[in-house]
Structure formats: C-alpha cells, structure tokens
A and B are shown apart, each in its own frame.
Chain A
C-alpha cells in the first residue's frame, strides 16, 4: 500500500503537469478561432448540463490538422526543423566527443574542475548568452573584426541570420548535454580493456574503434537524444540568430500564437510536434532501459 502511494506521487505529478496540459492543448487544436477571450470556440459551459457537453463535443473537428497538410509552410518547417536538429546533433557529437574523451583521460584531480567548466555557462541566463553570440557573429562582431584584422579575410563573413548561426547556437547551448553522458561512460571504461586489445594485436587506433567506441555507445546515444529532442522544437536560437531565413517549427508555432493569435492552429502544430518527438523519446527510453539491464 505504502509502495503504491509512493509510486502514485510521480504519476500524479505527470498527470497534473503533463497529461492535463496536453489534453487542454489537444482540445484547443480541435476548436475554431474566435474573436473572444480565450480566442477560440467552443468553451465548455457546464451550466447547460448534459446538452451543453454534447453540444461542446459536436463542435470539435479536425479542421486545423487538415489545414496544416494544405499549407506547404508547415510540413516544410517540420522537415527543416528535423534537418537542422539532425545536423546540429551530429555537429554537437563531433565537438563534444573529443572534449568528453579528453576529460575522461585527464588526471583525476583535474576532472572536477573540467566538469565545473562544462557546467559553468548554465550560471548565466540562456537568453543573455545567445545575445552575446549576436555580438560575436554579427558583421561588425568580434569574430569578423579578428579575422579582418589578422588578414585572413577581406570582406566580413555573413554568419548572423543564416542557418550556420543557428547551428553554432545549438552546438554551443546543448554541448554539455552531449558531453556529460559520454564522459560518464568513458570515465567508467577500464584501461586494461584497451591494453588487452593492444595485447591481442590492435593498434591504438583500432583499439579505439573496436573497444572505446562500442563501449561509449550508450553515452553517445543518450547525448544525441538529449540534444536532438529539445533542438527540434528550438525557438529562441533560430529567432535570435537565424533571422527570417531560417524556418523552424518552434518559430512557426510562436508566430501562430502571438502574431496571428490563432491558438487552434498553433495547438495543432504543437500536437503534431509532440507526436514526432514521441518516436525518438521512446527510442531513448529503450536505450536507457537496455543499459540498466546490462549494467
């Protein structure tokens, strides 16, 4: 009984903080826009009794979802979000793996300091850090100034307001989420496994491919999901760094809500985004569970 009660607490939490808001959004996505407060119809009026409930459900329809398939903007935004998230995840992995590897190989007395340095950026507001990148990447920014001054380029590089800037922003922001799980697996790696591989005829490089990488796989997969899942719905980075050129679903969602005040369409966009994300989230859960069973 006590155990059930204990389990009930997180379930209740999920119900209140996840399922109920989701149902509200789902309901709005099935409604129509209205010039009213809230800006959609129907709203449930329980004073009318059973007839009111029936009337309420009869007015819900899939109209907004059909609309999303008709306008190319939406599926293009979904696709481009997927693409940006995929490329950015890969780039984060390429940058993050060597850092995690270096941390795991560093003398053990340095590791807490290095870990601290990885987490340190979180102490500053995310928004301020992204604004700082505008200062670095803009045409008159520090990066261009240094490159012009050193004579490497003659014309300022156009980085800000391009997809490139979005990639830089995502890699920068989500790097710790990639590094930490990979570091956790690499740190556990028994050095004698690599010696055994060498002893059995591997070069250093092939020992890395055949032993280090397969054993770091759970960490790599976890890191990739931890970057990919939030990156796909990212809104702040594309709107501040990507300018008008970058099409991402998070931005579309924001515009539907606040510029168009079309809550039902915006909710439909959100519901579909969630459905797209459910697949990688389930895969991520499977990966974690498999690791727990093997560990």
Chain B
C-alpha cells in the first residue's frame, strides 16, 4: 500500500541524509487550560502523502491549522524547508489548504475560484487563464468553469476545492477531511484520484482524517494521534501488522486482545498465561520480557484459523463455541466464545456458497494460529 508513488523504495524517512520538508520540534499548543498539542515532534518529507489519523478532538486539525498559519504554537518550533514559520502569516506561506467545508467563494464561478489564488500571486495575467484550464483538466471539470458553486454537485465541489488549492503549486498541500462529505462509493473513487493527482503534481500532501481505511489507502505514512500526542508513525502495513500499543492496534482495523502475564522461553518466544486451565499462548515478543510482565496478546481476526478438528500444525489452539456470525459477503467473521467467556473473532473467506458453509451457531470449533501471527504489546 505504501508504493503509491510508483516506487516501492520511497522511504525518505529511513535515510538519515534526507532533510525533512517539515519539522515539528517539541510543539505544544494550548487553548486556555486545554492542551490541544502536547510536546509533539514529527518530520514530514518531500513528496510524502502523510496522514494524521485520530478520533475527533485528538488535535489533528489543530496540527494542520498550525501548518497553514491559522494557529501559532504556544511552545516549540515548526520548520518548513529549514525555516521557522512562526512569524510567517498564512498568506505568505508556500502552503495551501483544502477546507473540510470546501470554502468555495459562492459569488465566484468555478474558474474564478481556481484563479483566485493565482491573481494574488506574481503570476503574469496572461498565464493565469492557461493555469486555470490546466487545473480544470486535471480535476476533469472542463465543462463547469462558468458555473457557480451552488450549481454543481458535492463531488464536483470537492474537485473545485482541490483544483483551487493546487493551482498555486504549493510546496505543501493540506487536506482537512477532504472526503468527509462524500458518500462511500464516491469517496473510494476520489481516494484513488487524490493519489493519482499527488503523484502527477509531486506535491507533498498532509491529510487529516478520522477514517482509518481512507488513511490506509492514500497515505505513505500514517501518524496515529490521541489526546494531542503522536502514538505511532509508520507505513500503513507496519501500522497494521506491528502496532506499538494497544491503542493503535485497537484503532486500526479489527483485533482480538487477550490480557495475560508473560513468561519468556528464550529466543524472543514468549508464553502468555491468560486463563486458568488453558494452555499458554506462544507468541513472539519484540524484546525479551521479564517474567510476569503484564501484557496484551493482539491478533487480527484474519490470522486466526477456524476448524472443527484440533489442527496439529499451529503452535496455538483453543476450543470454543460459535457465538455469532457476521456475514459480510466476501468474508464472514465468527465470534467464538471460549470456556472462560472471552470472545475471539476469526475471519474466513467465503470461497464456498453459503449453503455449504462449514460452521453454524453453537458449533464447537477450534481456533488456531502460529507463534508469529500475533504481537505482544506491553503499552
């Protein structure tokens, strides 16, 4: 998923010689007593598609508004291209923003909206019309240039907002929940369109979203935020497979969390004692844990196999009863209740017709997984 730049090796954050385009250095933002951003440091690199993901009120919008210049940090520094941005007002920054409400000027036509920023720049008048046409083509709005914003659909308005914010060829484009107002189907199409445009223009994009699927689809890296702090910054696949905390594991996708105490077996293999009378779970810890450390074993439902007989091959197997089945068309999620009452979700692809399904409600089943399928989290 992280190869949206057509280059699987696009990972400037792993190259220590690479200079970040944007640097947050210990930035704190307070509104009165409320701390919106708490001592936050991140680096964003040129040509990245960087997603800020988190629940509402986590500070992601504040972070973006500080980049645009509408808010100034209470403490710390924000550097763009190595230059401190604190004293630079929004209209002097090489950034443009696409607003959640689109904020199109209702008294101006689509073409005039796109030209608005160009007219404020030092671009010669003769070139503005050409640039506007180019943006209209890029966003497939050629026929709508003369319409007013209230005369076009929501999806078209979204594209006008994008065209307007890209027209000045900013170094950095900020997108505040850009697809929030679109319905699901249109949103998915637009996500790919956004990636396409980002690739074509080579602009650095920072997107704010609360939709983890959207962030996973478009972003080269995702920063998961909670209560004004960054919890984890990673590529979508690393975030999904190697969450660093229970919060991230729980926020991104579905997961089973089993609480227990660790008992290292050596060579990073760890036993987790989680319930009386059940065999301990064998998993792989990121580092050797001290005996008795409280931890969570986290495993994605699709990595849990479901079978009627106890499988011999997998390191872990538990017995339970089918409690519930969520049928999603392509896959089904089985909620299996264990003897101690804990529910474990297991996903299986529906590669057979429904009438020939293997399991149904109340069936006794075995759940199994390998010793590397899950992660052990101590945070």
Contact of B150 among A190, A198, A294 (CB under 8 A): A294
Residues in B with CB closer than 8 Å to A217 are 107
Interface residue A143 (Cβ < 8 Å from any Cβ of B): no
A-B CB contact pairs (8 Å), 20 listed: A192-B99, A192-B101, A192-B103, A195-B99, A196-B97, A197-B116, A198-B70, A198-B89, A198-B90, A198-B91, A199-B90, A199-B91, A199-B95, A199-B97, A200-B96, A201-B117, A203-B91, A211-B105, A294-B106, A294-B150
Is B107 a contact of A195 with CB atoms below 8 Å? no
Interface residue B68 (Cβ < 8 Å from any Cβ of A): yes
Contact of B168 among A192, A201, A210, A215 (CB under 8 A): A201
| Nearest-Cβ distance from residue B365 to partner chain A, whole angstroms | 53
Residues in B with CB closer than 8 Å to A202 are 91, 120
| Nearest-Cβ distance from residue A213 to partner chain B, whole angstroms | 10
B residues lining the A interface (CB < 8 Å): 68-70, 89-91, 95-97, 99-101, 103-107, 116-117, 120-121, 148, 150, 164-165, 168
| Nearest-Cβ distance from residue A96 to partner chain B, whole angstroms | 21
Is A195 a contact of B150 with CB atoms below 8 Å? no
- Which range holds the interface residue count of chain A? 10 to 19
Contact of B116 among A192, A200, A203 (CB under 8 A): A200
Is B150 a contact of A201 with CB atoms below 8 Å? no
Interface residue A21 (Cβ < 8 Å from any Cβ of B): no
Interface residue A214 (Cβ < 8 Å from any Cβ of B): yes
Is B103 a contact of A214 with CB atoms below 8 Å? no
Question: With the chains together, A196 CA to B160 CA distance in Å?
Answer: 13
Question: With the chains together, A201 CA to B104 CA distance in Å?
Answer: 15
Count of A-B contacts with CB under 8 A?
A: 58
Contact of B106 among A200, A201, A203, A215 (CB under 8 A): A215
Q: Which of chain A's residues 159-212 have a Cβ closer than 8 Å to chain B?
A: 190, 192-193, 195-203, 206, 210-211
Residues in B with CB closer than 8 Å to A210 are 116
Is A199 a contact of B68 with CB atoms below 8 Å? yes
| Nearest-Cβ distance from residue B127 to partner chain A, whole angstroms | 16
Residues in A with CB closer than 8 Å to B104 are 196
Question: With the chains together, A202 CA to B91 CA distance in Å?
Answer: 6
Is A201 a contact of B91 with CB atoms below 8 Å? yes
| Nearest-Cβ distance from residue B68 to partner chain A, whole angstroms | 6
Residues in A with CB closer than 8 Å to B165 are 199
Is A199 a contact of B96 with CB atoms below 8 Å? yes
Is A195 a contact of B96 with CB atoms below 8 Å? no
Is B99 a contact of A201 with CB atoms below 8 Å? no
